[in-house]
Amino acid sequence: MTAGDLVRRSAADLAEALASGETTSVALTQACLDRIGAVDGAVHAFLHVDAEGALAQAAASDARRAAGAPASALDGVPIAVKDVLATGGLPTTCGSKILEGWVPPYDATVVARLKAAGLPILGKTNMDEFAMGSSTEHSAYGPTHNPWDLDRIPGGSGGGSAAAVAAFEAPLAIGTDTGGSIRQPGAVTGTVGVKPTYGGVSRYGLVAMANSLDQAGPVTRTVLDSALLHEVIGGHDPLDSTSIDQPLPALVEAARLGAAADMSGVRIGVIRELGGEGYQAGVQQRFDEAVQLLVGAGAEVVEVSCPSFVHALAAYYLIMPSEASSNLARFDAMRYGLRVLPEGPDGLPLASPSAEEVMRATRDAGFGDEVKRRIILGTYALSSGYYDAYYGQAQKVRTLISRDFAAAFEKADVLVSPTAPTTAFRIGEKLDDPLAMYLNDIATIPANLAGVPGLSLPAGLAPEDGLPVGFQVLAPALADDRLYRVGAALEALLEKEWGGPLLEQAPALAEEGTAR
Amino acid sequence: MTELMDFDEALAAFDPAMGLEVHVELNTLTKMFCGCRTEFGAEPNTQTCPTCLGLPGSLPVVNGKAVESAIRIGLALNCEIAEWCRFARKNYFYPDMPKNFQTSQYDEPIAFDGWTEVEVDGQTYRVEIERAHMEEDTGKSLHVGGSTGRIHGADYSLVDYNRAGIPLIEIVTKPITGTREKAPAVARAYVAALRDILLGLGVSDVRMEQGSLRCDVNLSLAPVGSDKLGTRTETKNVNSLRSVERAARYEITRHAALLAAGESILQETRHWHEDTGVTTSGREKSDAEDYRYFPEPDLVPVAPSREWVEELRGTLPEPPREHRARLQALWGFADLEMRDVVAAGAIPVIEATVAAGTTPQAARKWWLSDLARRANEQGVDLADLPITPEQVARVQALVDEGALNDKLARQVIDGVVAGEGDPDAVVAARGLAIVSDEGALTEAVDRAIAANPDVADKIREGKVAAAGALIGAVMKDMRGQADAGRVRELIIEKLS
């Protein structure tokens, strides 16, 4: 087997290859590093690659295997981590200039669990600055390119994680999802992404955009791989007060069960408000066909209505910036990160600037436009006199959305919709139109507002542009296992149609020689 | 120069209203939202972690012990305890605030609608408590250079984040009105009463000089007879009982002068200057200042069960005023004696000394004379002297047994305070026991008589009062280690 074949295999498959001694973690990790070296110049999925650290972790993993004591099912399978999670000893920038060079003194719980489970960390992936965006164009370090078409966006904010997995640079990645930042990149890159139930995965060490919405989750090429990774990172964490103190449902078991593609007795609700007008024809078509495949496998399909969802985007764009405006206040040049000394009217640095002047100059230089836009929005929404009309009203909408979900889940075991209204758009196309950009998340935001889990998996290529389409499955809070059962079933049905994984149809990326 | 009006004149024209905001640092072992230690005086920035430094990604977890203390404080102030309440973010920028928001409580305090009573010159005043809420302390800025120690004019500033995240309870009164010329004294009495309550609860060190109890004095004046409140000023960080009284008094005279001159009061923060006894304008504060409060999304609501609240109510000590009245009756102290005991903060040590077997009067004598002087000299509380109530009780027991006289007992106390060990150890090491060897005493008496024939003659003539001089000589001869009563008996026996 060549290194090129190795990087294309699923994590579950690689775990077996490691267990059987067919390959080693060092060989596998080196293969991923070589692939990164070969294609990341074009894709730009990574902000930081830690070859030395990853290989050291891989060697330790191989030693555990040799001693017959692997740390987990995924011990030795390398992973990429979105740059919004604190990694002790590795830079963590959140895609922002204001954190350039910052090396956290501690690990996020998710990262600590990856390390404890023996997954070598390849590096940190690109993202929209502070996770604010749907295209990864708002990264201060330049955009990530979609491996399906390098002129197009890979989605966002977690475009780096999705592109890394789609470009076979890593078999697994961690993303975070505040309004769709795992699922929408998954949709437009032909990968699988899961946003767990709010509180299902610890937020300790996840640099917050909107604390009440943020969730970290798996980014993979198969549904089973997501389940395997979800079981590594999920579960209660006493360091996160909002973490759920309950055992995770049996996710891997649900994925394996689903792979048999028997959907009899499963009720699937198609959300009326998330489809039709505003959705690209090819996206809608692939979605409808996928639903028919589930019907063919025995599922009962019902249409459900969630009338409050039409207000979800508006509510989201009040709650998220409100929380973000407060979270981002800490970036003030006093303790860590960028420090810019202010200039006087003569253009020379002020001789004796005050703390406030340093804060102002630093925040002005360190934050990008989208971040500033949201800080301003949030500051306004929380201001005295406006709070009730904006933040207060948005919280009420949030309650209504939760009620809509509760009513819909009376009629259906899972709810489904297209993940994103369109396939990947061109880099630069929506940069000057924030509202058009925000509409990308119209189908993913309701799950964040209600705290319910969601999964996106590839549903095929849109006929009109040949680009991947995402299929979203939503389940009630704490019932993440349902995502994996239905997701794995649909994946099996679709791959039978396609004759293999969708990513096999992606164009080959030019390898720029062997790296390192 | 700020114009001031004579205090009595001011009271003739205006009625003061006060609001007192007291911040109390709890004495929990760890901080409000992380596991860092809270010891006072540690090396700067050694008691910190990602959470209390506000590092990106860090999260808070509520300290259950702090919630317990907050509830007990609320109950001791006769407050309602919320069945459900949340933390909120108070957003503003300041370099000593790691997150540039303070995790506090806003419209859902843990305790609300309480009251307490204070006594001034024999009259009782009821102070209504608006609320008591939980929050975290900020770091501490040290402004270096410049003359004032304030940020303006400083060359640079240093920040110590050891204090950041220490649990605070902010206790806010409703406007205190109708106190007239007693307003400054009532303010002081309230803070003193609060300090006693907190000490009794054991929830805080309540050291004003260390900043574990800090008081802001809000004050406004209205023309006599008006039922409206005037514009208030908020005098910050008034950090001694005496200053609370002085600051209130100062602001009354300052407001009155301005109002009488037809000027209006600027709603602002003012700084109290302990040394000069004046307030100066701080930053202007208006209702336009907007902290953009919203519920803290990183924390879950605090919902103390009614069972727990009742359980905590059962742990409350007797309220200080009742406690004092009961002890006074029990100990048989006169009003004046009790007032001195209270003023010296000696109730707990006297209680403990009495519990160790000493009579109340003897306990009072030791703590209010010698020991109070020492505490005063060292600038510490009685309880912090390096001698325990049990040791004081042992010294008194030695006196009662006749093994020590008062003078020797003082030397034993000296030894204990100097770290020479327990009273018995000091007695042994210094050889301080009274000499009860009659032979040695008799010889000393004979020597004294021989050395002072004139005095001896006077005593022989019946002037017994002259014995004092001989007793003194004997005591000196015996280096104080004799029972003066027995010496006197021996002298009179010999010379009669």
Q: pLDDT tens digits, residue range A396-424?
A: 999 999 999 999 999 999 999 999 999 99
Residue B382 has pLDDT above 70, yes or no: yes
What percent of chain B is modeled with pLDDT above 70? 97
* Inter-residue contact B367 to B353 (CB < 8 Å): yes
Stretch B73-88: mean pLDDT, rounded? 98
pLDDT of residue B274: 86
Contact (CB<8Å) B59/A86: no
Residue B197 domain-assigned (yes or no): yes
Residue B2 domain-assigned (yes or no): no
Distance between CA atoms of residues A172 and A166, nearest Å: 10
Is residue A438 within 8 angstroms of chain B, CB to CB? Answer: no
Chain A residues touching B56 at Cβ < 8 A: 86, 92, 94, 99, 102, 104, 207, 330-331
What percent of chain A is modeled with pLDDT above 70? 98
User: Which pair of tokens denotes residue B188?
Assistant: 């002081």
Residue A116 has pLDDT above 80, yes or no: yes
Residue B428 domain-assigned (yes or no): no
pLDDT of residue A100: 95
Chain A residues touching B95 at Cβ < 8 A: 332, 334, 355
Distance between CA atoms of residues B156 and A421, nearest Å: 54
Distance between CA atoms of residues B466 and B463, nearest Å: 6
Report chain A's mean pLDDT, rounded to a whole number.
Answer: 96
Give the chain B residue nearest A105 (alpha carbons): B50
* Inter-residue contact B473 to B445 (CB < 8 Å): no
Q: Are residues B151 and B277 in the same domain?
A: yes
- pLDDT class of B286 with cuts at 50, 70, 90: very low
Q: Are residues B446 and B417 in the same domain?
A: no
Angle at A22 between CA A21 and CA A24, to 5 degrees: 70
* Inter-residue contact A444 to A420 (CB < 8 Å): yes
Residue type for position B17: A
Among B359, B389, B423, residue at a domain's last position: B423
Number of alpha carbons in the 13 Å side-chain half-sphere of residue B299:
24
Residue B90 domain-assigned (yes or no): yes
pLDDT of residue B15: 96
Chain A residues touching B93 at Cβ < 8 A: 329, 332, 356, 359
Q: Are residues B329 and B278 in the same domain?
A: no
φ/ψ of A140, rounded to 5, equals -70, -10
Give the chain B residue nearest A207 (alpha carbons): B57
Q: Are residues B58 and B182 in the same domain?
A: yes
Residue B148 has pLDDT above 70, yes or no: no
Active site residue A322: no
φ/ψ of A313, rounded to 5, equals -60, -45
Report the SS3 class of residue A174.
Answer: strand
The CATH code for residues A3-309+399-429+447-505 is 3.90.1300.10
Residue B431 domain-assigned (yes or no): no
Q: Are residues B12 and B119 in the same domain?
A: yes
- pLDDT class of B284 with cuts at 50, 70, 90: low
Contact (CB<8Å) B57/A206: yes
Chain A residues touching B157 at Cβ < 8 A: 355
Pick from B117, B97, B4: nearest CA to B52: B97
Active site residue A135: no
What is the nearest CA distance from A33 to chain B, expressed in angstroms?
28
Residue B186 domain-assigned (yes or no): yes
Residue with the two structure tokens 């230690």: B37
pLDDT of residue B283: 67
- pLDDT class of B40 with cuts at 50, 70, 90: confident
Distance between CA atoms of residues B405 and B366, nearest Å: 13
pLDDT of residue A514: 47
Chain B residues touching A326 at Cβ < 8 A: 89, 91, 101, 292, 294
Whether complex ipTM tops 0.85: yes
Identity of the residue in A203, A335, A384 whose CB atom sits nearest the CB atom of B59: A203
Q: Are residues B300 and B391 in the same domain?
A: no
- pLDDT class of B152 with cuts at 50, 70, 90: low
Q: What is the DSSP letter of B279?
A: E
User: Which pair of tokens denotes residue B37?
Assistant: 């230690």
**Which residue in B62, B290, B292, B299 has the most chain A C-beta atoms within 10 A of its own C-beta, making it the best mutation to test that interface?**
B292
Q: Are residues B398 and B418 in the same domain?
A: yes
Catalytic residue among A10, A25, A157, A308: A157
What is the nearest CA distance from A243 to chain B, expressed in angstroms?
10
Asked if residue B204 has a cis previous peptide bond (ω within 30° of 0), the answer is no
Q: Chain A to chain B, count of Cβ pairs less than 8 Å apart?
A: 100
User: Which pair of tokens denotes residue A365?
Assistant: 């230089």
Is residue A322 within 8 angstroms of chain B, CB to CB? Answer: yes
- pLDDT class of B150 with cuts at 50, 70, 90: low
Q: pLDDT tens digits, residue range B401-425?
A: 888 888 889 989 989 998 899 999 9
What's the order of all strands across the beta sheet hosting A121-125? A46-49, A121-125, A79-82, A172-177, A215-220, A192-195, A454-461, A468-474, A414-418, A267-271, A300-304
Residue A433 has a CB neighbour count (10 Å cut-off) of 10
Stretch A61-65: mean pLDDT, rounded? 98
What is the tally of structural domains in chain B?
3
Residue B226 domain-assigned (yes or no): yes
Residue A344 has a CB neighbour count (10 Å cut-off) of 11
**Which residue in A85, A109, A241 has the most chain B C-beta atoms within 10 A of its own C-beta, making it the best mutation to test that interface?**
A241
pLDDT of residue B149: 62
Stretch B345-351: mean pLDDT, rounded? 89
CATH number of B468's domain: 1.10.10
Residue B65 has pLDDT above 60, yes or no: yes
* Inter-residue contact B66 to B170 (CB < 8 Å): no
Q: pLDDT tens digits, residue range B130-142?
A: 999 999 999 998 8
Contact (CB<8Å) B50/A99: no
Q: pLDDT tens digits, residue range A66-77?
A: 999 999 999 999
φ/ψ of B92, rounded to 5, equals -160, 155
**Residue B64 CB burial class (10 angstroms; 0-12, 13-18, ≥19):** exposed
Catalytic residue among A82, A97, A195, A430: A82
- pLDDT class of B172 with cuts at 50, 70, 90: very high
Residue A259 has pLDDT above 50, yes or no: yes
Residues in B whose CB is inside 8 Å of some CB of A read 50, 53-62, 89, 91, 93, 95, 98-101, 151, 155, 157, 159, 290, 292-294, 297-300
Least trusted range by pLDDT, from A148-157, A196-205, B24-33, B438-447: B438-447
DSSP string, A208-270: -SSTTT-EEEEEESSHHHHHHHHHHHBS--TT-TTS--SPPP-HHHHHHHHTT---TT-EEEE
Q: pLDDT tens digits, residue range B2-21?
A: 889 999 999 999 999 999 99
User: Which pair of tokens denotes residue B351?
Assistant: 């209680």
Q: Are residues B375 and B406 in the same domain?
A: yes
Contact (CB<8Å) A329/B93: yes
Is residue A388 within 8 angstroms of chain B, CB to CB? Answer: no
Angle at A44 between CA A40 and CA A46, to 5 degrees: 85
Q: pLDDT tens digits, residue range A482-507?
A: 999 999 999 999 999 999 999 999 99
Pick from B370, B364, B376, B357: nearest CA to B339: B364
Chain B residues touching A240 at Cβ < 8 A: 59
Chain A residues touching B91 at Cβ < 8 A: 325-326, 329, 382
What length is written for chain B? Answer: 496
Give the chain A residue nearest B63 (alpha carbons): A241
Contact (CB<8Å) A241/B60: yes
Is residue A86 within 8 angstroms of chain B, CB to CB? Answer: yes
Contact (CB<8Å) A211/B157: no
Report the SS3 class of residue B166.
Answer: coil
pLDDT of residue A319: 98
Q: pLDDT tens digits, residue range A270-311?
A: 999 999 999 999 999 999 999 999 999 999 999 999 999 999
Q: Are residues B333 and B449 in the same domain?
A: no
Residue A333 has a CB neighbour count (10 Å cut-off) of 21
What percent of chain A is modeled with pLDDT above 90? 93
pTM of the model: 0.87
Among B259, B286, B310, residue at a domain's last position: B310
Burial B131-166 (b: 16+ CB within 10 A, else e): bbbbbbbbbebebeeeeeeeeeebeebebbbbbbbb
Active site residue A61: no
Residue B1 domain-assigned (yes or no): no
Is residue A341 within 8 angstroms of chain B, CB to CB? Answer: no
Pick from B391, B341, B397: nearest CA to B369: B341
User: Which pair of tokens denotes residue B41?
Assistant: 């005086």
Residue B190 has pLDDT above 60, yes or no: yes
Q: Are residues B381 and B446 in the same domain?
A: no
Q: Are residues B264 and B303 in the same domain?
A: yes
Among B423, B449, B478, residue at a domain's last position: B423
- Higher per-residue pLDDT: B192 or B439: B192
Stretch A464-477: mean pLDDT, rounded? 98
Range of the domain at B411: 318-423
* Inter-residue contact A165 to A173 (CB < 8 Å): yes
Q: Residue B90: which H helix or E strand, with range?
A: strand B88-91
Residue B196 has pLDDT above 80, yes or no: yes
Q: Which A residues in the span 348-377 are in contact with B, Cβ-Cβ below 8 Å?
A: 352, 354-356, 359
Residue A516 has pLDDT above 50, yes or no: no
Q: Are residues B118 and B244 in the same domain?
A: yes
